[in-house]
Amino acid sequence: MSAEKVETMEKPLEKMTVKDLREMAKDMPEISGVHGMKKEELIVAIKKVKGIKDKPAKKKDASVGELKKKIQAFKAQRQALLEANDRKMATIYKRRISRLKKKTRKAVA
């Protein structure tokens, strides 16, 4: 059992279960109301007590404006392919547009 607890302590906090986080937080006198907390709240409280700082977020690949310009260009190319009855390439451009839209959503968030 002690070996199992050691393994859970070495895991990153985000990968631990709520049950493990509550057990860890119960041992810390600075944290109260452990059973009423959600996982995100437990992680924040434990990091605060232990003095763990979050790593900065990744840099964005491209700005939203640049991505939207690429989307518009791909849409124009896709429309031309549809008019030329090239369904295969039109499908490929549709997927590219979809991927870029996902990137814009991630860049905003």
**Please, what is the end-to-end C-alpha distance for the chain in angstroms?**
41
pLDDT of residue 82: 95
**What is the Cα–Cα distance from 77 to 79, expressed in whole angstroms?**
5
- Residues 13-59 have pLDDT tens digits of 888 999 999 999 999 999 989 989 999 999 999 999 988 887 766 65
pLDDT of residue 61: 58
User: What is the pTM assigned to this prediction?
Assistant: 0.45
Query: What's the residue count for the chain?
Result: 109
- Residues 50-92 have pLDDT tens digits of 888 877 666 555 688 899 999 999 999 999 999 999 999 999 9
Q: Quick one: which of 30, 63, 60 has its CA closest to 47? A: 30
Domain boundaries, the chain: 2-50, 64-108
Return phi, psi of residue 73, to 5°: -65, -45
